[in-house]
Amino acid sequence: MTSVLASSRRAWLPWAVGVLVLAAGFGLQTQLYTDQERVVTAVLMYVVLAQSWNLIGGYTGYASFGQVAFFGLGGYVTGVLMWQLRLPFWWALAASGLLAAGFGALIGLPLLRLKGHYFAIAALGVAEGTREVITNLTSVTGGGGGLTVPTFGADAPTAYLGNDGFYVFFLLLAAFAVLTVTLVARSRFGFGLRAINQDEDAAAAMGVPTTRVKVAAFSLSGLLAGLAGSGYAFQAVNIYPGPMFDVQITVLMVVMVVIGGSGTVLGPVLGAVGLQLLSEWLRANYTTYHTFILGTIIVIAVVLFPGGLVTYVRGGLRTGQWSLLTSIRRYRL
């Protein structure tokens, strides 16, 4: 996580670490019980979702409160294609990703003209509206009663992947998401996104076609969330509009990215892994108080590290300033 120039001498290091982590992911699988394997699978899915939000909210600076729309859409495209048309999962997966990306471009064009929180809430409206449309297209989607992806026997276009299969699927998808964001961060496109995040007028004055770049970022973030939704729908078998478009999923993406460090490659990964594991651990050990404690932790983290953990550590390493009160001094009234 060093700057591009400084890392040019040791450019291989992050890649090596990445490959090692991926290998460790495969190794870990052999050591896990079924329940634990499911937990880690969920963690990996959230890595994908957090990186999806990171692209548009973290790098581009457009906080989308409707990101779950892509997840839900991806899930329903897969569900409908496998249920109604008996298409194999892999085709449905590709279709889900492409449709979610297309949807991102479509709604991005009008929505990304809005600034700040107006964009955020318009995206929320789109997500809620999409859920309602899915709910009411009963003949296609099964409506509020949900739909069941055929998974067994001759009926199934693709055989169920099982716990091990979905673990590998989401491990590879998470690797793909992290790789995508890493490449974006270092590319011309990434420079454009960061410039837009800092100052759109200044970016435009340096030749960045802001609308085009923003829409592309939103579309790419839609692709990642759509792929995650697709895999989730297949894994869950029974899907319903409520859970597929749950606004809490969006909020979790935001929390993970912000707490980890938005606009960094590593932050969202740490945020997703840390928060999801913590949440699962609390759920297992403090069933009753689990969301209460989680809420408390979020409140404390937001007050102490509003810029995210990665940003805090990086700042500390650079300036030697580790005071936890810095951000309070900056943001209090």
Residues 147-176 that bind another protein (CB under 8 A): none
**Residue closest to 69 by CA, chosen among 39, 102, 42:** 102
| Contact set for another protein, span 35-64 (CB under 8 A) | 57, 63
**Residue closest to 264 by CA, chosen among 321, 200, 311:** 311
Which one of 248, 285, 321, 324 is in contact with another protein (CB under 8 A)?
A: 248
Q: Are 55 and 217 in contact (CB under 8 A)?
A: yes
Which one of 117, 159, 281, 285 is in contact with another protein (CB under 8 A)?
A: 117
Which one of 15, 281, 292, 322 is in contact with another protein (CB under 8 A)?
A: 292
Q: Are 111 and 123 in contact (CB under 8 A)?
A: yes
Answer yes or no whether residue 295 interacts with another protein by CB under 8 A.
yes
Task: Report the nearest approach of another protein to the CB of residue 220 (Å).
Answer: 17
User: Within a 10 A sphere around the Cβ of 101, how many other Cβ atoms?
Assistant: 23
Task: Report the nearest approach of another protein to the CB of residue 273 (Å).
Answer: 18
Q: Is 239 strand, coil or helix?
A: strand
With respect to another protein, which residue has the nearer C-beta, 128 or 164? 128
Answer yes or no whether residue 286 interacts with another protein by CB under 8 A.
no
Task: Report the nearest approach of another protein to the CB of residue 11 (Å).
Answer: 9
Return d(Cα 8, Cα 17) in angstroms, integer: 15
| Contact set for another protein, span 190-219 (CB under 8 A) | 190-192, 194-195, 197-199, 201-210
DSSP state of 156: -
Return d(Cα 256, Cα 269) in angstroms, integer: 8
Answer yes or no whether residue 146 interacts with another protein by CB under 8 A.
no
With respect to another protein, which residue has the nearer C-beta, 34 or 139? 139
Answer yes or no whether residue 249 interacts with another protein by CB under 8 A.
no
**Residue closest to 44 by CA, chosen among 263, 232, 293:** 232
With respect to another protein, which residue has the nearer C-beta, 165 or 315? 315
Helix segments in the chain, DSSP class H = 12-31, 34-53, 68-84, 89-111, 116-136, 138-141, 162-186, 188-198, 200-205, 210-236, 241-244, 247-260, 266-285, 290-304, 309-319, 326-331
What is the greatest pairwise CA distance in the chain?
Answer: 65
Which one of 36, 238, 291, 321 is in contact with another protein (CB under 8 A)?
A: 291
Answer yes or no whether residue 4 interacts with another protein by CB under 8 A.
yes
Answer yes or no whether residue 321 interacts with another protein by CB under 8 A.
no
Answer yes or no whether residue 297 interacts with another protein by CB under 8 A.
yes
Which one of 303, 316, 317, 321 is in contact with another protein (CB under 8 A)?
A: 303
Judged by CB under 8 A, which stretch of 98-106, 111-119, 159-167, 170-178 contacts another protein? 111-119
Answer yes or no whether residue 84 interacts with another protein by CB under 8 A.
no
Task: Report the nearest approach of another protein to the CB of residue 118 (Å).
Answer: 5
Task: Report the nearest approach of another protein to the CB of residue 77 (Å).
Answer: 18
Q: Which two tokens stand for residue 123?
A: 């995206």
With respect to another protein, which residue has the nearer C-beta, 90 or 286? 286
Tell me the CA distances in angstroms from 154 to 82, 144, 157, 238, 269, one per residue in order: 13, 27, 8, 18, 39
To which residue do tokens 């318009």 refer?
A: 122
